[in-house]
Structures are given as C-alpha cells and as structure tokens.
Structure 1
Amino acid sequence: MSTVIFWFRSDLRLHDQPALAAALRSGATRLLPVFCHPAPDETTRWGFARVGPHRRAFVHHAVQALDMRLAALGNPLVQLQGSPASTIPALAQAAGATQVFCEDIAAPYEQDEVAALRAAGLQVRTVWQSSLLAPGALPWAPQDLPSVFTAFRQAVERKGVQPPAPLPEPATLLPPPDFHGPGSEAPTAATHSPGGTDERSSFPYSQPAFHGSEAAARAHLTQYLARKLPHSYKATRNGLTGVDYSSKFSPWLATGALSARQVMAELRAFEQAHGANDGSYWLWFELLWRDYFRFLHLQYGRALYAGQGLSDLPTPTYNAQGFARWCEGRTGEPLVDAAMRELATTGYLSNRLRQVVASYLIHDLHGDWRAGAAWFESQLVDYDPYSNQGNWLYIAGRGTDPRGGRRFNPQKQAQDHDANGSYRRMWGTA
C-alpha cells in the first residue's frame, strides 16, 4: 500500500482544496495529513520573532479545529514542531512515504521549504490554489503581467475573467497509514494571547466568532452577507477601529481557513439576491489587488525581496534607533504611535493605518522598508507574504506604483480619519 503525505501550509481548510483533491486522486491508498508549527525561537535578520504571539495563537486555533475535522473523517492531523525540512523527512521514512502534496506558495521562504524537502529525497508536488483567478485564465502569461494594477484590473474585467467555482469538501478521506513514527507535537503555550482579549481590538481573535477555524470563517462570511454589509463596505473601509468597518476576511484568507473563491461565490449570490453597488464591487476590487500581488510573485519571485525591489534605487539604510521607536509606538507622532501600539497589543491594524505607519517609517524616519515588512510579518494575525511584500514595496516606491511611492502626511491623515482624536485617545497618544 502506498502512502502520500499532505502538508497543510496556508490552506487550513477542507472546502475548495484543489491540492488535497490532487493528493486524493494520486493513486495512493493511504493519506498522512501533516502541519508543521514553526519553531518558537525562529527569528528574523532584524532580531525579533518571525511569528509573534498573535499570529501563533490564531494559527494554533485554526490548526486545532482542522485536526478535529480531519479526525471526524477518520484521519487526524499529525502536528510537528520545527521546520518542514527537519521534521517531514523522518516522518515520511517512518510511514514509508516518498511523495508530498502541498499548496504552492511563490514566496522565497516558502519556496525554500519545498526545495529543502526535495533535497532530502522527497517528491513534492505543489498545487497553485490561493488566488481568486486561475493564472491560466488570465489574458497573459505570468511573465507578461501588466506593470500597474489598474491595467491588470481593466484587462481582467474587459475579458470577463471569472474565478472557478469553489470545490466542495471531500466526503471521505483515504485512511491513515499504520506506522510507528513521530507523534503529534502541538504546542500548548500559544493557545492564548493577551491581544485577543483586549476590548479595543478590531479583530478580537480570542472570541469564538473570531477564532481561526474554518467554521468561524464560514460563519463570519455568512453573517457579513446576511447583514448586507457589502453594500456599505466602500463607505466604511477607511475606518480605524471596530469590527464592522471592514470585512475582516483577511485573517482567515491569510491562513487559508477561508478560500477567496468561496468568498466570491457567496458574494455573487448576495448580489443576485440583493443587488450590486459600489460597496460590493469594492470587495471584488480588493480581492483583485490580492491576486495581483500573488501574480507579481509568479513574475518576479525573489527580486521582490531585494533592497531595491523592482526599482533602480539604492538599498535603503537601516535606522536601528528609529525602527525601535517606530515598533514601540514612541516616535512622537501621535497617530503613528497609536497605530503601532494597537498593532503590538492586538495583532491587527486597519488598512488605512498600515499605509500611514509604513509611509512614516520609510519617508519620515528613512528606515529600511524590509525591516518594517518583517515587523508586520511578526505581528499581524492576517500576515500574508504576497500582500505584505507588495504593499510595502508600493509605499516605498520600489514596486509597481506608477507614482514612485506614497507618502502619507500623518497630521492630515489624523484630521481626515480621526478628527475628534478618539482613536489617539484610545491608545494614549492624544
């Protein structure tokens, strides 16, 4: 009997799972589902944890819920602690498996993980599945992606490109192999984080409605549509605090507990039933931005992570003292400091404020955008390598912004979006 390993990565769900479907069709007779928790002591080149407590706690809940769902289908998740290269080969040897199926993630860190498994002698088949639109359905090859988002969006809409229908959940799984190997090593210390209980949080991930599970994700989407919030999305999306000013899909999209295609399918059904407007269109617009940053990785890969990015600008200088003040929310700029305190305390930050604080680090403190991107990676519950890197490059003028970067005046942003100072008072900087 042959065994295939299915390695869950940023696809912690059973609905709309092309990679899992491919593993089930592979001809194997046994399936070994695996997830690797990152080592708690893994740090960035900048000296702080690559995965901070907020994201670790959110992902932990997602993985535990996935394990329960898999167990109900007769094949519980094997949880390992450490890098895939240090854990999966030994598991494969014990189970007699030589083939691994997983999601394809076109970012350097994640590509290196796959390369390390192949170097260890495993056959790894990756399946692209995180984008809304299928790369093969686009009007161009990945290397010919338009250099600005607007041209990309207009071409997609002109050609009428639509996402594939999401796949249903598998009714059954292959049975697990009978072997004696490494057992599950689910971490227990990361199940709770103070940020998830802070009453100021705009994404209170410790509450059941905001847990990382696929069930919570699907329920959130259902209630968001039932309350007709898509119709008001464009008008409220620049809010700074609260649960409903934005869709809050991003944390579940980032872990893969929610599929972008599932979101779009249900949004289209909503528009059929209740009508479309600028607000519901803007959700499609934002999902296209998410796709654009994914396809940009297919086009440029590691070049997006170099200091100069896609520009001919020199590598930025690292301002260690300014960066520390920025991380700790003590730059002296009240709106920036309030936002950075919210990020560190809750693991979440509005899109408007993400742009403001990124601009401040780059254009006011003259810091290294790569350090800022790494801090967001560490802190955000909804960290996604594609969108994080793409947005930081955009603000820095080293990506695809036709205007060569964006500087946000924090005083004007405060006047426009926090005129009464309530947000700054909430975080003790007014």
Structure 2
Amino acid sequence: MLLDRSECLNLIASCNSLPAARQLEHHAQHIFSGGTDAFASNRLLELYGRCGSAQHARRVFDSIVHKDLYSWVRMITAYARTGHLEESKRVFDSMKEWNLVSWNAMLSAFLHYNLTDEAKVMFDAMPERNTITWNAILSAFAQGGDLGAAKFVFDSMPEWDLCSWTPMLDAYAEAHLVRNARDIFDCMKERSIVSWTAMLCAYAQNGHLEDARQVFDAMPERDVVSYNAMLAAYTQRGHMDEASQVFFGMEERSSVSWNCIACGYAQDGHIDAATRVFLAMPELSVVSWTVMLCAYAHTGQWTDALDLFSSMKMTTMPDDVAFLCVLLACNHAGSVRSGCSHFFSMAPDYNVTPRKQHYSLMLDLLSRGGYLDDAGELVANMPFAPDARDWTSLLGSGKTGKEDYGARAARGVLELDPHKDGTYVLLANYLQH
C-alpha cells in the first residue's frame, strides 16, 4: 500500500522506531525516490537521525538533489547524536556557507560530547550569536563547574532569558555560594518551575533545610521533581518525620520518590519501614533492589540480604553496587562458597567488571575463612595494586599457606602503613604461627 504525502509526513513526525522508519520509506518510495522532494526527504533524514541510524540518514542526505540549509543541519545533528563527531565536523566544513543555525548545530555537537574547549574555540569564531548560542556555552561552563568562565559569559551576554538565569543559579549552588544563587533568583523577572526547583536544591544541597522548605512552600506550582528535591533534602539528613509528610503528601510519585524514602528509612535504621515501602513499590528497579540489599547488609541481616539477592536475579540484572552488598553480606556471614560463587559470576553472567572494592571484600572473606593460598593467589592476579587494607587482611588471618604469603603481606603493609600500631600486633601474631 502506497502512502500519500500528507499521511507519510504525519507518520514520520510521530515515528521513533528504525524498523518502522524503514517501512515508512518503503511504502512512500514514490515520494522519496529521486530526492526531488527536499522537504519530505529532510523529514525522513531527521527521523533516521532520531532513531540513531547515521547510515540511513546519510543515504537519504546524499539522495537529495537540492539540499537546503535544513538538510545540512539535520545531517550534522544525526552524526553527532550517533557518536560520529568527526563526520559531523566534516559535513559542517563541506558546507558552501554557514549561517547562525549551522554554527549552533556544530556548537551543540561539541557540547553533546562535553568538548567544552573545542566548543569555546568555535564560539569565539562565530561571526554572530543569538541567545541560543550564549545559553549553550553558558550551560556548558556551569555544568562543568567552571564558575569563573560561566560568570564571564553571563556578564557578557547582551540579554538574558529564563534559560540564562537558571544555569548561573546552579553554578553558584554547586560552588556553595548560596547567597549569590539567591541574588540570581531574586533578579529573575520571571521564574519557571525549573527555576524554583533549582533554588530549592541550592538550599538543600548546602544544608539550609529551613530555607529550602520556605522556597518549597512558596512555589506557585510543584511537580514530582520539586517534591523529590524536598524529599531528598530531608532523607539525606535523617529528618524522616518531615520526609514522610512530603512523601505521603505527593499526588504522584516516581521511582525516585519511592527509592528515596526507602533509602531514608534504611539509613535511619528503620529497616521494617524500608521493607514495607519496598514491598509497596509499583515497580522495582535495580536501584530499589540495591537500596534494600545495602540496608540488610549494613544492619547484619545477612540471610535476608542473600535471599533478596536471589530474588533480584530472577527479574533484574544486578549492578556493581548490588554485588558489593552481597559480598559484604557473605563476608560477615563467613560464607566463603557463596561469596566465591557470586564474585566469579559477575563478569561472565552479568557483564559486571569487578572493581577494587569487590576484590578487597573477596580477599577479606578468603583470609577470614582461612583460605590463605586462595587469598594470596587473588592478590597476585588481581588487576589492582593491593593497598594496606588488603595486606592487613592477608596478614590478619594468622595462618600460613603453601607459600609464605604472610611474609609478603607483612612487607606490603609495613611499606604502605608503617606507623599504624595494629600492624605490629598482627605481625607479632603471624610470627607466633
């Protein structure tokens, strides 16, 4: 069935799937063949870029007989979105002439990959700039923590809009300059819900809970993000009564809301309350599972942690933090077999690369369990340099193996931490054996 031009354009506008895009092109080939309908072809090019296929986008781009500015800009953007920055730059350089839209597209491509230095060079070379240009480079400096550069850009701007003030507010908040952030907020001629939430977060992140609550109460409207910001402010400081009031007062909740209140209860030692929240969650993410794993592991409920991890693996792929929790549980429970099983399954079964902390927990588990040879072999083969804690775990077992790992551990810990009194106690215990 062939689609007419109007149907085709409507479907392209709502499509976000590469297979569906291919089907659309097939059923409307009479429109795109020959590349004479630049408007329709540009929309198809944009669709392929949106779906992450630079190859198909380039094919459509090359087929357009009379490319207009939109064609070039969409091709630059398609390459940038799909990880082909060099190709984006090559397309930009091959344009016969540039205008503000094409300059902004290339600037955005650099910023998409956090290449602020390259973006600044391009910004300085631009023959003209608009508010979009200024806001883009301002946001890049603000998000990158370069307060000085952000302030210089902000002060140099010919005019400001709502998208100019908020990044500057965030930059001051990140630098713990709450007074400056408030000055920016007070100078704003108009404020959006994003601006209000940014000010709330500025106070909350810097420990000014009462000021954060005043901003929250004064907000003309709130969304789930602003509620979550206030909720996080309370839970991170252990104010669980206030956090509960915010949580249960929310008209709608996201997974962040549920995870935040569960984590707050767990950190405050209310494991039963955290468990009730966990069981009531409408959906469980890897964060949800990990919050409870950490709660059980850090409160000594090793069996519950291991049982929960078994349930988690049935529906969710564990991440590196989840494995840290389960190895901690195995360590304190003295379950060497279970710990080894989980540790050695990380990379092959779950595509999780063990980090230094995972190796250290395994080393401690093996040493505590008396498997000194296995612990020594792990130290010898792990892709990280052992630190004083690792050598101390090996030395602290007080046992010798087939090889004299104890002597190696003694040398290692004395080199890395020679002034710690406990080191000599452990060394004395080792020598007695």
**TM bucket by the smaller chain?**
under 0.3
User: Highest CA radius of gyration, 1 or 2?
Assistant: 2
The structure with more helix, counted as a fraction of residues:
2
What is the TM-score when the length of structure 2 is the normalising length? 0.23
The structure with more strand, counted as a fraction of residues:
1
Which of 1 and 2 has higher RCO (CA within 8 Å, sep 6+)?
1
